Structure 1
Amino acid sequence: MLKKKYRNRISFIPIGVLSLVFMCVLVYIKYESNGISFKNFKLNYIGNILNFIISIAILISSIILKFSKKDIQQSKKVIALILMVLSYIALVLIIFIDKFHIVKLTTHLFNVPIQKFLTGFLFSFAITLQVYLFNYIVGFFFEQDKLYGLRILIRTVLSLTILIVFTLFYVWNVSIYSVENLSKKQYDYGCIPGAAVWSKNKPSPIFEARIRKTLGLFRKKYFKKIILTGGNAPGEITEAETAERYLINLGVNKKDLIVEKTTSTTSEQIKYLKNNFADKEILIVSDGFHLSRIKQMAQFFNLKVEGVSSDYALSFEKTIYYRTRESIALLMFWLFAI
């Protein structure tokens, strides 16, 4: 009797509060690691909404569970606490990696800078634990002890799948990025994000289409200068230099080109624009599937940009591949700003 009374006095509510604090810390890391003051935090930003939906769901389910007066074993509450502790450990490791640079910034893993890969893995691990914790707590309402762990795992996978489907839907259902939909006819700069460079310093067809579209807009005086970004071209000249050579060969004066050749990811390129052209209006020329993520990144960095898609036509198979890849990349940026 005493043991049962003791168990009933222990609540999941502190774990729910810890989840809310966890998400506040995660969001703070998102902003601080990108050099953005937390004063610029926007609750209506999709990524922040997704972050807090998870923690608030855990807190609310914890409160409901408390007042439901269900008899839950102490060992199961300890498991919930362990899940929370592991989430916090992941955040601590992320801060440690970011502050002390324990990995070489030039090292790549799966064509991704290793620091970004490690922080992305730890962020994903932490958020997966939080989603699992939510399903773990909600599972107590159904009182199904048989295969409990497997049931929670399946629900967690379904929850994460819903997040991915939502992002995929967003990427597939964006506005058409055409010249006709631009709000104005004159911008401070045009910008070409880097893309793949093929052998003999030749831009890939996707990259070439971006360059040619930008050249057409430049000749129509939509902007006076072109920003070229991208340095991720192992064994060849950088993406930005490739675009520079291509445009010069087509008659563009070198003084009208601004070349940035150190960034290796889209987020780094948007951050570069933020750090150097924050008060300017920029027209970014890329692919439709890519512009969805670019616009969300620009919103996060409070950067004034509009987008125009290139004229490159993808096959159906490549459309599915690129949009699916962009969906996952956008979800990672929404949740963790990487």
Structure 2
Amino acid sequence: MAKQHNFDIRRPSGFWAWLRRLLFAALSGLGLILICIAAIDVWISLQARGKLTSDLEQLRPTDYGVVLGTAKFYPGGGLNPFYQARIDATVQLYQAGMIEQVIASGDHSTPFYDEPGMMRDDLIQRGIPAQIILRDGGGIRTLNSVQRLQTEFGQTDIIIISQRFHLERALYQAQAAGIDAQGFVAADAPLNWHARVRAREVLARVSAMIDIHVLRRTRTPMLHP
């Protein structure tokens, strides 16, 4: 009678135990990263409490207001609602006598793209005198715009104009740069814009924390290019 041989073709049980440990470690690491990101997001929002408002009566008048730049149009050709709302809010502040001069701060890193110039032109069309509008083309990032308020314009008491999600981060950065800033909340965009913007903002807040607390970039002068 022929001898029967039983062959165990399964991998050693040690391999599966190692794989489970590796998977558990990866999931735990991912979970920890997500918790840290969520904590940073909430922390920056909490730090802005009491510093921003959409009510003019709750603001303290200052000499300068800075409107933070963004693209006026999107690649498809449509008007950016965030941009338009910031222009509206800046005009509202000026007409109410809350600011005497405007700093239009945004990206003008190439001759072909000029956020401050676009904002200046639109503000003039809305009745703000050209001579009180200052352009800051070095505001490539929010941190640049905020820090340059002091290094380029000598201002430490200012009203920052943008949407709430953006203002919370800008106010946190301003505080780290030694600037006493208030935030004036521009109208938000329609709901269908929120998902894409919110995801980007969460990552921007993580970057802001690294800039401030790890790289110490608020201590580095941001001079005009």
**TM-score interval (norm. to shorter):** 0.7 to 0.9
Alignment of 1:179-328 (within 5 A): 179-180=54-55, 184-198=59-73, 204-232=80-108, 236-315=112-191, 317-328=192-203
Instruction: Check conservation: 1:209, 1:312, Cα contact below 8 A.
Output: yes
Question: Higher helix share goes to which structure?
Answer: 1
Matched, 1:149 2:26: no
- Amino acid paired to 1:194: G
TM-score by length of 1: 0.51
Higher RCO (C-alpha under 8 Å, 6+ residues apart): 2
Instruction: Check conservation: 1:229, 1:259, Cα contact below 8 A.
Output: yes
Instruction: Check conservation: 1:171, 1:289, Cα contact below 8 A.
Output: no
- Distance in structure 2 (CA, Å) of the matches to 1:286 and 1:296: 14
- Distance in structure 1 (CA, Å) of the matches to 2:152 and 2:71: 24
Secondary structure, counterpart of 1:326 in structure 2: helix
Instruction: Check conservation: 1:191, 1:282, Cα contact below 8 A.
Output: yes
After superposition, the C-alpha distances for 1:257-286 in whole angstroms (9 at most, x for unaligned) are 111113311111112113134543110110
Matched, 1:160 2:33: yes
> How far off its partner does 1:207 sit?
0.8
- Distance in structure 2 (CA, Å) of the matches to 1:272 and 1:214: 19
Secondary structure, counterpart of 1:263 in structure 2: coil
- Distance in structure 1 (CA, Å) of the matches to 2:209 and 2:128: 37
- Amino acid paired to 1:157: L
- Distance in structure 2 (CA, Å) of the matches to 1:267 and 1:279: 15
- Distance in structure 2 (CA, Å) of the matches to 1:321 and 1:307: 23
> How far off its partner does 1:252 sit?
1.7
Instruction: Check conservation: 2:106, 2:140, Cα contact below 8 A.
Output: yes
Provide closer, same or farther for how the CA distance between residues 203 and 252 of structure 1 changes in structure 2, counting only shifts above 3 A: farther
* Larger radius of gyration between Structure 1 and Structure 2: 2
Alignment counterpart, residue 334 of structure 1, candidates 192, 209, 212: 209
- Distance in structure 1 (CA, Å) of the matches to 2:53 and 2:116: 24
Instruction: Check conservation: 2:109, 2:138, Cα contact below 8 A.
Output: no
- Distance in structure 2 (CA, Å) of the matches to 1:182 and 1:158: 43
After superposition, the C-alpha distances for 1:147-174 in whole angstroms (9 at most, x for unaligned) are 4333322211111010122234446666
- Amino acid paired to 2:147: K
- Amino acid paired to 2:134: I
Provide closer, same or farther for how the CA distance between residues 302 and 148 of structure 1 changes in structure 2, counting only shifts above 3 A: same
Instruction: Check conservation: 2:167, 2:183, Cα contact below 8 A.
Output: yes
Secondary structure, counterpart of 1:308 in structure 2: strand
Instruction: Check conservation: 2:86, 2:186, Cα contact below 8 A.
Output: yes
Provide closer, same or farther for how the CA distance between residues 263 and 336 of structure 1 changes in structure 2, counting only shifts above 3 A: closer
RMSD: 2.9
TM-score by length of 2: 0.74
> How far off its partner does 1:287 sit?
0.5
> How far off its partner does 1:326 sit?
1.1
Give structure 1 stretches of 5+ with no counterpart: 1-143
Give structure 2 stretches of 5+ with no counterpart: 1-16, 218-225
Instruction: Check conservation: 2:87, 2:119, Cα contact below 8 A.
Output: yes
After superposition, the C-alpha distances for 1:236-274 in whole angstroms (9 at most, x for unaligned) are 440000011111122221111111113311111112113
